[in-house]
């Protein structure tokens, strides 16, 4: 739902060209998308001159348009929608939204997110309705309260700045340009504040900065002699800075507790202006030692308007948050399962949720289950051959829980039962799903008092953090061979 280009053309009968392009705007990023979506049927946006001539011809506004032209005037081309196809350079540019009002032609070319051959129905092109909305919004802005040509020229000169907010990068956000006018300061026309090309507008309102740290922990545990368990932490720092001015500057510091795990492999957003060399050289490939840089990690940057990922990082934490043991043995028509889970003492025992999913692939539906659990509740999804152990929000004081039982299956139906090419025989796993709010495994946090903001007004600063499980597997210790992340991706 975007616009490739738009034009405002004054209709001037009696002049050599019969019209003048008063304003035009093209969106190169949308044009690249059009080239991808339209493929072989792609027709580029023409220059203003050829477009003006083709549009005036199609609208029958040229003086030499009195004669019948079959390609334009035949009964098969009766137009009731103000949407046209323009012949430019031997190719047809479609769809072109255009209408004449108060001697001004308003036109735009919406993006069609599919091939143009065969031509798709108009109802499937969502950019058409947005194009009409934008053009009518521009018309209302130009002629509301307008008394003479000087006022019209003034409003036309304001359009580039207004469209930065109303239609950044071709996407219509607000067709009411008066709203954008109220948020744009045109007082200092002689010395405008420099606006970076990557920032389509400025923010007006209450200043605030929001910082969110999300860590995802992966784990592959086998409880198998000669096979090492693996785990990995990947962190993302997301920011949203609502600050006035074209180029506000912000510095955020990430800190670690005294026993925290150093951050490594740090990748930063392009808006970060400088970095300590120790941050860039910290790598997970190098062996850990006491000399590893442990912060604080300072990130000075000029924020974009939207929410963005300030940085990514990894960390080599000493232990996974939950240690597990899973054993599954086949006994005739039954499976005997034993599961032990232990929450590490250093981890915050306050979950938003925590549950273990125990799937049984390549088998029939569950027909009978006998089990004993020391904690939590067990849900049975018989047709899906799945057990879900709902642990809840806290582990018991012992930090250890267990589940054991026997599972009996019915006849296998290939259409309904889950299939997995890896989990054959005794190769099986349980997968942990959990989330802990206001906690990170590395201990990383953003100190609200250390955030520096160089902009007008004192902003409200909010900081959040959470730990989420991601691909957290505990494999059957009786499995014949260990399964790695690489084999899961095949």
pLDDT tens digit sequence for 199-234: 777 888 899 999 999 999 999 999 888 889 999 999
Per DSSP, the residues of 276-319 read -HHHHH--TTSPP-TTS----EEEEE---SS-EEEEEEEE--SS
319-333: b (≥16 Cβ within 10 Å) or e = ebbbbbbbbbeeeee
All domains in the chain, ordered by first residue: 2-66+74-182 (3.30.450.60), 208-319+441-474 (2.60.40.1170), 322-438 (2.60.40.1170)
For residue 388, what is the DSSP state?
A: E
Triad 273, 278, 283: Cα angle to 5°: 110
Spatial CB neighbours of 449, under 8 Å, sequence gap ≥ 6: none
Interatomic CA distance for residues 391 and 344, integer angstroms: 15
Average pLDDT, the chain: 86
pLDDT of 191 reads: 42
Share of the chain above pLDDT 70, in %: 88
Of residues 282 and 345, which shows the higher confidence score? 345
For range 271-300, the mean pLDDT: 75
Q: Rg of the chain over CA atoms, in angstroms? A: 32
The yes-or-no verdict on residue 347 having pLDDT over 90 is: yes
CB-based contacts of 381: which residues, under 8 Å, 6+ apart?
366, 387, 388
Q: From the centroid of its chain, how far is CA 434?
A: 23
Residue 490 above 50 pLDDT?
no
Asked whether the whole model's pTM tops 0.85, one would answer: no
Q: Given a cut of 60, is residue 71 above it in pLDDT?
A: no
pLDDT-based confidence at residue 489 (cuts at 50, 70, 90): very low
pLDDT digits (tens, 9 = 90+) for 247-256: 888 999 999 9
| Residues paired with 430 in a beta bridge | 474
State how far the Cα of 158 lies from the Cα of 214, in Å rounded to an integer: 42
Cβ contacts of 190 within 8 Å, gap of 6 or more: none
Report the distance separating Cα 127 and Cα 133, nearest Å.
Answer: 10
Whether the link from the prior residue into 118 is cis, omega within 30° of 0, is yes
Rounded distance between C-alpha atoms, residue 464 and residue 456, angstroms: 24
Give the confidence band of 50 by pLDDT, cuts at 50, 70, 90.
Answer: very high
Q: For residue 472, which of 434, 445, 440 has the smallest C-alpha distance?
A: 434
Q: Where are the alpha helices (DSSP H) in 323-426?
A: none
Please confirm whether the linkage preceding 296 is cis (ω < 30° from 0): yes
Percentage of the chain lying above the pLDDT 90 cut: 52
The predicted-structure confidence for 364-400, as pLDDT tens digits, reads as follows: 889 999 999 999 999 999 888 899 999 999 999 999 9
Q: Tens digits of per-residue pLDDT, 97-115?
A: 999 998 899 999 999 999 9
Beta bridge partners of 270: none
Strand order in the sheet with 377-381: 264-268, 308-315, 230-242, 208-221, 460-475, 429-437, 353-359, 386-390, 377-381
- For residue range 304-342, list pLDDT tens digits in order: 888 999 999 999 899 999 999 999 998 877 899 999 999
What is the Cα–Cα distance from 162 to 174, expressed in whole angstroms? Answer: 10
pLDDT digits (tens, 9 = 90+) for 126-182: 899 999 999 999 998 888 776 677 788 888 888 888 898 889 889 998 888 877 776
The pairing of beta strand 264-268 with beta strand 249-255 = unpaired
CA pair distance 472, 435, nearest whole angstrom: 12
When pLDDT is cut at 50, 70 and 90, the band that residue 67 belongs to is low
- C-beta separation of 399 from 345 below 8 A: yes
Cα distance between residue 19 and residue 24, in whole Å: 14
Question: What pLDDT does 157 receive?
Answer: 84
Which residues, other chains included, contact 276 with Cβ-Cβ below 8 Å and sequence gap of 6+? 293, 297, 298
3-state secondary structure of 445: strand
Distance CA 296, CA 312 (A): 15
Give the model's pLDDT for residue 187.
42
């Amino acid at each position: 739902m975007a616009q490739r280009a738009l034009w405002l053309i004054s209709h001037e009968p009696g002049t050599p060209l019969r019209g003048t392009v008063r304003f035009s705007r093209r969106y190169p990023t949308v044009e690249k998308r059009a080239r991808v979506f339209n493929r072989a049927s792609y027709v580029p946006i023409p220059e203003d001159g050829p477009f003006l001539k083709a549009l005036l011809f199609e609208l029958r506004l040229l003086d030499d348009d009195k004669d019948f032209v079959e390609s334009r005037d035949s009964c098969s081309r009766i137009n009731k929608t103000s949407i046209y196809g323009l012949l430019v350079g031997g190719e047809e540019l479609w769809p072109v939204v255009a209408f004449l009002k108060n001697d001004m032609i308003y036109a735009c070319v919406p993006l069609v997110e599919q091939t143009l051959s065969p031509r798709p129905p108009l109802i499937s092109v969502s950019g058409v309705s947005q194009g009409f909305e934008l053009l009518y919004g521009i018309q209302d802005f130009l002629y509301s309260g307008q008394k003479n040509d000087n006022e019209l020229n003034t409003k036309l000169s304001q359009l580039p700045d207004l469209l930065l907010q109303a239609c950044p990068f071709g996407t219509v956000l607000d067709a009411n340009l008066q709203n954008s006018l109220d948020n744009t300061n045109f007082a200092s026309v002689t010395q405008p504040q420099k606006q970076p090309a990557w920032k389509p507008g400025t923010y007006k309102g209450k200043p605030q900065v929001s910082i969110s740290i999300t860590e995802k922990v992966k784990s592959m545990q086998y409880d198998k002699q000669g096979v090492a368990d693996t785990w990995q932490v990947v962190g993302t720092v997301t920011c949203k800075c609502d600050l006035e001015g074209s180029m506000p500057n912000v510095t955020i510091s990430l800190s670690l507790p005294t026993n925290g795990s150093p951050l490594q492999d740090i990748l930063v957003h392009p808006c970060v202006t400088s970095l300590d060399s120790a941050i860039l050289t910290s790598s997970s490939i190098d062996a850990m030692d006491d000399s590893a840089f442990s912060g604080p990690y300072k990130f000075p940057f000029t924020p974009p308007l939207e929410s963005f990922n300030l940085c990514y990082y990894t960390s080599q934490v000493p232990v996974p948050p939950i240690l597990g043991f899973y054993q599954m043995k086949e006994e005739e028509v039954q499976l005997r399962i034993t599961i032990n889970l232990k929450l590490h003492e250093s981890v915050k025992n306050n979950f938003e949720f925590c549950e273990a999913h125990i799937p049984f692939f390549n088998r029939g539906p569950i027909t009978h289950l006998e089990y004993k659990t020391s904690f939590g509740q067990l849900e049975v999804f018989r047709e899906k051959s799945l057990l879900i152990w709902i642990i809840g929000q806290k582990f018991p004081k012992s930090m250890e829980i267990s589940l054991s039982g026997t599972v009996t299956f019915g006849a296998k139906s290939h259409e309904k039962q889950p299939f997995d090419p890896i989990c054959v025989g005794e190769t099986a796993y349980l997968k942990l799903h959990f989330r802990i709010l206001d906690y990170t495994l590395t201990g990383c946090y953003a100190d609200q008092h250390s955030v520096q903001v160089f902009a007008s007004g004192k902003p409200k600063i909010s900081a959040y953090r959470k730990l989420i499980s991601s691909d957290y597997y505990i494999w059957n210790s009786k499995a014949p061979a260990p399964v790695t992340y690489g084999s899961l991706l095949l």
